[in-house]
Structure 1
Amino acid sequence: MNFFLETLKVTGLFFYYLLESLVFLIVPRRKKDVSGEIVLVTGAGSGIGRLLSLKFASLGSTVVLWDINEEGLKETGKLATKNGAARVHTYVCDCSKRQDIYRVADQVKKEVGDVTILINNAGIVTGKTFMDSPDSLVEKTMEVNIMAHFWTYKAFLPAMIASNHGHLVSIASAAGLVGVNRLSDYCASKYGAVGFAESIALEMRDMGKNGVKTTVVCPFVINTGMFDGCEAKWQTLLPILEPEYVAEKIMTAIRQDQEILALPRSVYFLIALKHMLPVKAAVIFAEYFGVMSLMNAFKGQGKRD
């Protein structure tokens, strides 16, 4: 009897959530108010990190900006102040070093307060074949792109759990959903970022902390300089994304408590194909869409934001 009732419950919820998602494709979800929130953005000195910082500033949030680039950090701070941030706090932080993250996190908690929206955005890319990637760069990629997420969560998640209020945002990558030629360390770090964020989301659900939201962002190549030279074969399906467009989509996803955001929408289709098709058939499509040759002309800057 219990099996029957549980099966009935699961079936009912399945169709309810399916219908809900279809409705939200037509009727946009209500956007939450982020004024007064304390928003920490790593890699805030440029690119997507800067754009997100300015957008939160314009909505009346207190913005806490982290970057290893002091000049870029100062510029973002000035712009955030002009954009109407409630308060602006800048901190030079090397996200590849656990102790530096913990040290600066303690400063933030003492000088600003408990972070309520954490955006792990800082990232780097090597862009070499696996055998040509120096050990030091592989380690640095893992330290910045995924290990930093562990340490920032350790630092700021306890307060969110205690108050049952907060939002964890991981700027991952479409390369965290599918392997890409000449991006072995980057893909590994981004797969890790996606899996880690999803696992924490399930932990929050299991703990009954439904006030702590999570969003994982998986964009294709963004025109920030990080992936200069990269170009997919069919631009209509996999266009190089403009930073302003991506930042606006991320803001909407955060304010609507969207769990996962892939950009462009064709990424959802390609990932579904990957999991449905035989491996050899999926590789043919990867070659057709230009994924295999994406990094052939790579000359990026190596750092994201």
Structure 2
Amino acid sequence: MTSQGIKVPSGGQRALSGAMNPILDLLLFLATLIYSYLEAFVKLFVPVKRKSVSGELVLITGAGHGVGRATAFEFAKRHSRLVLWDINKHGVEDTAAECERLGATVRAFVVDCSKREEIYSAAEKVKKEIGDVSILVNNAGVITAADLLSTQDHQVERMFEVNILAHIWTTRAFLPAMMNNNYGHIVTVASAAGHFVTSFMVAYCSSKFAAVGFHKALTEELSTLGKDGIKTTCLCPVFINTGFVKNPSTRLGKILEVEEVVEALMEGILTNQKMVFVPSHLSIALLSEMLFPERAVAVLKKLTDAKFDAVTGQTSAQ
């Protein structure tokens, strides 16, 4: 028994129950598979219902720039109440001012998401002074483009602190109220680098793989706990024109603009999509990576010809 009184069956118990009715289990799986395909086909012709976020208290980390800033604008246009966090005081205040101009109620906080204590302290202030957050957008992120040996120790640590640990601390801070109400939405802004690896981003890819894993594990856990009113969405775009990666290029297509990424993100949130790839055909690429032989996958990666400025050939300081 867990501390909450929920019994988690052991691996042996699960194996035994599955072995007792293997034919029924297989029939159930096939029926579910067929139903899911039919449902997906019908949805091609039926408009997807979008939920309202008017009046929701939305907290966005990394709101002073790029995707976080543009996402704040979209929620402001939809009459949400906003709490904006960023390490850059000027950036977050500028975003807040624009959101107020759009008619939203906004509070801005200067928070360093690499520091757990700052996250917990700011979260307590939000809960006491403003209320319970119902939509959490974990967007803050940092990147260092360099080969592994050229990446400084503190850069590796900061990428993990901001790109994944901050997601865990903010979620732990605001999830209890969502659990009590069985209502809310947790958004993980990850990256295509959380599914596909690339050279000269070893630490960054590792942190984003962790972010994708966090989203999937959290989604599974909420389902197991019966908290179906708490939705989750993970955003995984390729290179975005934000300036974080210098001179990116790829033969897959043009570098994404912030607006098109945020448009896809908002559509994912409003329709409760669990995984949002930008561009959408990345999901097909992910499937091909699992199905094709390793040698063929290697050729495909070379054909994409992803390039960007990176530091190489140095030795990291300990």
Question: TM-score, normalization: structure 2?
Answer: 0.89
Which of 157, 160, 163 in structure 2 is aligned with 1:142? 160
User: Which has the larger Rg?
Assistant: 2
SS of structure 2 residue aligned to 1:39: strand
Gaps of 5+ in 2: 1-19, 312-318
Which of 47, 61, 80 in structure 2 is aligned with 1:28? 47
Match of 2:263 in 1: 248
Calculate the aligned-residue CA RMSD, in Å. Answer: 1.3
Cα distance in 2 for partners of 1:261, 1:72 equals 26
SS of structure 2 residue aligned to 1:6: helix
SS of structure 1 residue aligned to 2:44: helix
Match of 2:141 in 1: 123
Which of 82, 97, 101 in structure 2 is aligned with 1:82? 101
Residue type at the aligned position of 1:20: E
1:36-73 deviation per Cα after TM superposition (whole angstroms, max 9, x unaligned): 11100000001110110011011110010000000001
> Following TM superposition, by how much is the alpha carbon of 1:227 offset from its aligned partner in structure 2, in angstroms?
1.6
SS of structure 2 residue aligned to 1:115: coil
4+ long deviations beyond 4 Å = none
> Following TM superposition, by how much is the alpha carbon of 1:15 offset from its aligned partner in structure 2, in angstroms?
1.4
1:160-209 deviation per Cα after TM superposition (whole angstroms, max 9, x unaligned): 11100000100100000011110101100000000011000001111111
Which of 46, 71, 74 in structure 2 is aligned with 1:52? 71
Which of 162, 174, 179 in structure 2 is aligned with 1:161? 179
Cα distance in 1 for partners of 2:158, 2:44 equals 39
SS of structure 2 residue aligned to 1:148: helix
The aligned length equals 292
1:53-98 deviation per Cα after TM superposition (whole angstroms, max 9, x unaligned): 011011110010000000001100100011121x201111000011
Cα distance in 2 for partners of 1:25, 1:169 equals 25
Q: Is the 8 A contact 1:220 1:238 kept in 2?
A: no
Gaps of 5+ in 1: 300-305
Residue type at the aligned position of 2:133: V
Q: Is the 8 A contact 2:147 2:310 kept in 1?
A: no
Question: TM-score, normalization: structure 1?
Answer: 0.93
Residue type at the aligned position of 2:74: K
> Following TM superposition, by how much is the alpha carbon of 1:4 offset from its aligned partner in structure 2, in angstroms?
3.0
SS of structure 1 residue aligned to 2:60: strand
The answer to whether structure 1 residue 278 and structure 2 residue 293 are counterparts is yes
Which one scores higher on RCO, CA 8 angstroms, separation ≥ 6?
Answer: 1
Bigger shift: 263-272 or 240-249?
263-272
